[in-house]
């Protein structure tokens, strides 16, 4: 059966495999994320294509799958990366794990983000091997991407001379050469509890948090916005997404917490330094301690437009008939962690980011098929350039 005829059934089979990931590593919960079945599915298909396959477990049932295909000594090496996990399915209005095909679209959780990339990359590898391209291939499927890219830091590609990594995410098959850092920062204000009938005896932590929120909105957010990077339409951003405080309405609250989503442009500085400075400056400005409860960050990514890998990707994208104008995006990918290891990365894959994680997630079949052509075209461009 021709490669493209197998593509839609392949993606549907992937969607049926439950790899929903709703909890960060190490956080107890009712459902422990499990990418094992997806990892086995991918590993079996890589083995059938002639890849040497290994699994690296970041936690029980949570593998990174690495497949390597050696075309020859001295050949360029291309890494194709996408993640095995998806977000959860709460709020979906379609069956998450029962793929539906209608209106030239495939519906289901992960169709767009990012099992479409996994499927297209598998079929692209099949074509490149069949065409006997002088190109070494590494297929890298990571776990725990949807919880701040926790699987990719464990990846070690140092045994190979990697020329570049294609990170499969929904970009409408256009090349993304830079994205922001994703930071999560919890800030805490503390007070003193008292009976609600005698509030003057307490110290209301929620009132303190109100002052901190005003400080963030009026001072911190404008300061972050002034930190910019070429190609981005906005600077660094901060959004408060969660707030928790108090135990009962008749008790003066002694603690209030907020969780902030912070996006930093490339080269904005070390995230933890920025977080600490934010808390210290707020403490000084407001006159009461602002503590950091917890924080986590996944790094930004940037690959120079004139880098040889960028140039090869742009040429390959253009040769496939797709707009090769390099883009930037505000979201974060495994490309941040992988680029920190010294590998040039470009994010590129089928699908529209606006329907990723959505109540109705889908992927245009034409986008899926085009992705195979784009990946193969990039491979041909790299093989023709050789090392």
The predicted pLDDT at position 1 comes to 42
Q: Which residues contact 323 (CB under 8 A, 6 or more apart)?
A: 174, 317
| Mean pLDDT to the nearest integer, 96-106 | 96
Show me where the domains of the chain are located. 3-179+300-385, 181-298
DSSP per residue, 51-77: -EEEEEEEETTEEEEEEEE---TT--E
- What is the sign, positive or negative, of the torsion defined by CA atoms of 207, 208, 209, 213? positive
Please compute the mean of the pLDDT values over residues 296-305 and round it to a whole number. 97
Mention every residue, 6+ apart, whose C-beta is less than 8 A from residue 74. Answer: 386, 387
Domain 181-298, CATH: 3.30.70.360
pLDDT band, very low/low/confident/very high, at 43 (cuts 50, 70, 90): very high
Q: pLDDT value at position 294? A: 93
Cis peptide upstream of residue 309 (ω within 30 degrees of 0): no
3-class DSSP state for residue 328? strand
pLDDT at 24: 65
The predicted structure's pLDDT at residue 269: 97
Q: Domain 3-179+300-385 belongs to what topology?
A: Aminopeptidase (3.40.630)
Q: What is the pLDDT of residue 386?
A: 61
Enter the pTM of the model: 0.93
Please give the mean pLDDT across all residues of the chain. Answer: 95
């Amino acid at each position: 059966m021709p490669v493209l005829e197998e593509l839609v059934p392949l993606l549907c089979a992937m969607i049926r495999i439950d790899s929903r990931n709703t909890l960060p590593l190490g956080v107890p919960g009712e459902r422990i994320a499990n990418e094992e079945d997806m990892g086995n599915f991918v590993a079996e298909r890589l083995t059938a294509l002639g890849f040497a396959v290994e699994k690296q477990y970041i936690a029980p049932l949570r593998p990174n799958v690495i497949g390597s295909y050696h075309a020859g000594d001295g050949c360029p090496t291309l890494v194709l990366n996408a993640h095995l996990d998806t977000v959860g399915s709460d709020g979906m209005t379609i069956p998450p794990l029962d793929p539906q095909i209608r209106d030239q679209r495939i519906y289901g959780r992960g169709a767009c983000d990012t099992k479409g990339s996994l499927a297209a990359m598998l079929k692209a590898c099949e074509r490149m091997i069949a065409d006997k391209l002088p190109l070494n291939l590494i297929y890298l499927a990571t776990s725990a991407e949807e919880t701040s890219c926790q699987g990719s830091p464990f990846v070690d590609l140092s045994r190979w001379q990697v020329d570049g990594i294609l990170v499969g995410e929904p970009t409408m098959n256009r090349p993304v050469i830079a994205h922001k850092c994703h930071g999560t920062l919890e800030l805490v204000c503390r007070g003193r509890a008292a009976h609600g009938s005698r509030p003057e005896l307490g110290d209301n932590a929620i009132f303190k948090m109100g002052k901190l929120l005003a400080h963030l909105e009026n001072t911190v957010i404008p300061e972050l916005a002034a930190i910019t990077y070429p190609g981005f339409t906005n600077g660094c951003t901060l959004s408060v997404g969660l707030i928790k405080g108090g135990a009962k309405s008749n008790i003066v609250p002694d603690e209030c917490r907020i969780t902030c989503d912070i996006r930093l442009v490339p080269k904005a500085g070390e995230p933890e330094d920025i977080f600490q400075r934010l808390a210290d400056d707020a403490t000084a400005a407001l006159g009461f301690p602002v503590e950091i409860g917890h924080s986590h960050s996944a790094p930004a990514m940037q690959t120079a437009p004139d880098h040889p890998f960028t140039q090869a990707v742009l040429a390959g994208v253009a040769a496939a008939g797709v707009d090769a104008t390099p883009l930037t995006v505000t979201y974060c990918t495994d490309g941040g962690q992988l680029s920190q290891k010294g590998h040039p990365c470009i994010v590129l894959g089928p699908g529209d980011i606006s329907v990723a994680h959505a109540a109705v997630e889908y992927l245009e079949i034409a986008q899926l098929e085009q992705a195979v052509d784009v990946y193969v075209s990039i491979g041909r461009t790299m093989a023709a350039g050789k090392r």
